[in-house]
Amino acid sequence: MGTPSGPAYQLYYWPSIQGRGEFVRLALEDAGVPYDDVTRRPASDGGGVQALQALLRGDRPGVRPLAPPVLIAGDLVLAQTGAILAWLGPRIGLASSDSSAAAVTSQLVLTVMDLVAEAHDTHHPIAASLHYEDQKEEARRRAHHFSTQRMPKFLAYFEDVLARGKTGWLVGDQATVADLALFQVVSGLAYAAPVAFRALSPRIPLTLALRDRVAARPRLAAYLASPRRLQFNQNGVFRHYPELDEVP
């Protein structure tokens, strides 16, 4: 990460979880682009949650973001993970400059984010504002549907895209933000639902190979082994509740 005034990119996200901000962070780390992870800085240095809250209030010019992650680049204030990666990818070498290939890459990122939303809703099916303990019965029903139907459907789709492409990557013959996004969601599912994920693993060898290929990329390998990479935890999008994990 760079200094507050130096980097071209400023990332705003909750400082104690990976969440949706991690998809943006992985792209910046893989590209080796200096960025300021604003809320990870102390409040006394202009960081912390206070900096994010000020941004969400609309204290900065531009369209007010509803929720993080938020990326600031010059005068641009951009929220929504999919929108950020669609704009950022071609600029940092992680999406094609060809408009058609870039659109397909964006389509795949958005599909990943659909899967992220469904994974989140396994433990918060009624409302994000309620505690998990307040919706456990509904969570059990939702998690059963997710493990037996939705997760297999999504993962089979990505496996098919990789099989048809025959390059080891989702779009073209090199890594894009879509591959990094798939790496992150697969990692999250393996943490949140290890029993269900292990049962599905024999069906998705290409997806697992992509996960390992992404993790071995030099800059990402260094990042994943560093303190900058937060661990999955029970406050993030992917949460492990054993009672919600079952064999598909």
* All structural domains of the chain with their residue ranges: 99-217
Cα 40 to Cα 53: distance, rounded to the nearest angstrom: 14
Backbone φ, ψ for residue 203 (5° rounding): -85, -10
pTM equals 0.95
Q: Which two tokens stand for residue 31?
A: 């590209």
Cα 204 to Cα 211: distance, rounded to the nearest angstrom: 11
Does residue 182 contact residue 94 with C-beta atoms inside 8 Å?
no
Cα 210 to Cα 184: distance, rounded to the nearest angstrom: 11
Q: Give the model's pLDDT for residue 5.
A: 53
Mean pLDDT by 10 residues, the chain (248 residues): 66 97 98 97 95 95 94 96 98 96 98 98 96 96 96 98 98 98 98 97 98 98 97 96 90
Q: Which two tokens stand for residue 210?
A: 């992509």
Compute the residue count for the chain.
Answer: 248
Q: Give the model's pLDDT for residue 61.
A: 87
In CATH terms, is domain 99-217 a member of 1.20.1050.10? yes
Single-letter code of the amino acid located at 247:
V
Q: Which two tokens stand for residue 93?
A: 């070498």
Single-letter code of the amino acid located at 233:
N
Q: In what order do the strands lie in the sheet with 9-12?
A: 35-37, 9-12, 70-73, 76-79
